[in-house]
């Protein structure tokens, strides 16, 4: 059977993040991608100049249209913008009960522009965390979700991750890309253990869509039948290679995109 993943997220008009990055990630990893768009953004590599939310009822209609016809193996949730949209997504997940849900709590774009309304954060935690197989916050997002400073030690990262785990999700991947040092270390935390996943830190400004792409790559692995640890390990290896190849692109004047199809483009 063809593996299928659904992304529920916002559209990036410059093509580097959001729905566009998710579909590229699915395709690069051999998974058929479907989408439900939560918001339109006027966006490029230098920033976000406008956000136009899709009505919550129409987000629900997109989700129902996909699930009523396609056998969805995994769902990735990204930019959700407002509480009404979060409620519609939560209701859709309840109706269709997908086996795997990867939630990337996108709060701020690479450019620094806020993408999730402050009043929607509590709704995100209350309605979507309990339905998530995995949430994938970076270090600043982890701190913001807990309303405290960014963790600066492995012990502090694990402590924050376990407190997010207690909010109802089955696993947490705290991403270490915003930290410093020769390695970028992500921490996969579940009810039994913490696994540190290290990769060389790559010096590049072209990191637009990194978080979207990683969470989508994990969803792709789950849709193909991989267990959580395998899906996360494979996705991290893939996104590391995509970041390493990002400078082969010359796209935009700001934070350019990662290279989703680095395996297939000639050097």
| Residue-wise pLDDT tens digits, 70-98 | 999 999 999 998 899 999 999 999 999 99
Find out whether 48 and 23 touch, Cβ atoms under 8 Å.
Answer: no
- The CA distances from residue 149 to 135, 143, 146, 180, in Å, are 19, 6, 9, 16
pLDDT at 12: 96
Is 211 designated active site? yes
Q: Among 142, 220, 211, which Cα is nearest to 177's? A: 211
Burial class (CB in 10 A: 0-12, 13-18, 19+), 212: buried
Residues of the chain with pLDDT > 70: what percent?
94
Q: Spot the catalytic one: 7, 207, 236, 240.
A: 207
Is 207 designated active site? yes
Q: Spot the catalytic one: 212, 221, 236, 240.
A: 212
| Residue-wise pLDDT tens digits, 224-263 | 999 999 999 999 999 999 999 999 988 989 899 999 999 9
Question: Check: CATH 3.40.1350.10 for 4-248?
Answer: no
Judging by DSSP bridges, how do beta strands 134-135 and 101-103 pair with one another? parallel
Q: Among 51, 58, 57, 56, which Cα is nearest to 85's? A: 56
Is 210 designated active site? yes
**Rounded to 5 degrees, what angle do the CA atoms 170, 212, 48 make?**
130
Burial class (CB in 10 A: 0-12, 13-18, 19+), 61: middle
């Amino acid at each position: 059977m063809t593996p299928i993943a659904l992304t529920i997220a916002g559209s990036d008009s410059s093509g580097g993040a959001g729905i566009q990055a998710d579909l590229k990630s699915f395709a690069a990893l051999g998974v058929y991608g479907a989408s439900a768009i939560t918001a339109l953004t006027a966006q490029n590599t230098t920033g976000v100049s406008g956000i136009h939310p899709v009505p919550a009822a129409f987000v629900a209609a997109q989700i129902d249209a996909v699930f009523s016809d396609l056998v969805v193996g995994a769902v990735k949730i990204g930019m959700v913008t407002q509480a009404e949209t979060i409620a519609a997504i939560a209701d859709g997940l309840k109706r269709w009960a997908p086996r795997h849900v990867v939630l990337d709590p996108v709060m701020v774009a690479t450019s620094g522009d806020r993408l999730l309304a402050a009043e929607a954060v509590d709704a995100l935690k209350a309605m979507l965390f309990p339905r998530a197989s995995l949430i994938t916050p970076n270090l600043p997002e982890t701190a913001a979700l807990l309303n405290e400073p960014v963790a600066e030690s492995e012990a502090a990262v694990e402590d924050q991750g376990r407190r997010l785990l207690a909010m109802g999700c089955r696993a947490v991947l705290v991403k270490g890309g915003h930290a410093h040092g020769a390695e970028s270390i992500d921490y996969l935390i579940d009810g039994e253990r913490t696994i540190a996943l290290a990769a060389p830190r790559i010096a590049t400004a072209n990191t637009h869509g990194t978080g979207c792409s990683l969470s989508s790559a994990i969803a792709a692995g789950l849709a193909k039948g991989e267990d959580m640890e395998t899906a996360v390990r494979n996705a991290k290896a893939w996104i590391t290679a995509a970041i390493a190849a990002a400078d082969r692109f010359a796209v935009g004047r700001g934070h350019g995109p990662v290279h989703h199809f680095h395996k297939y483009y000639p050097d």
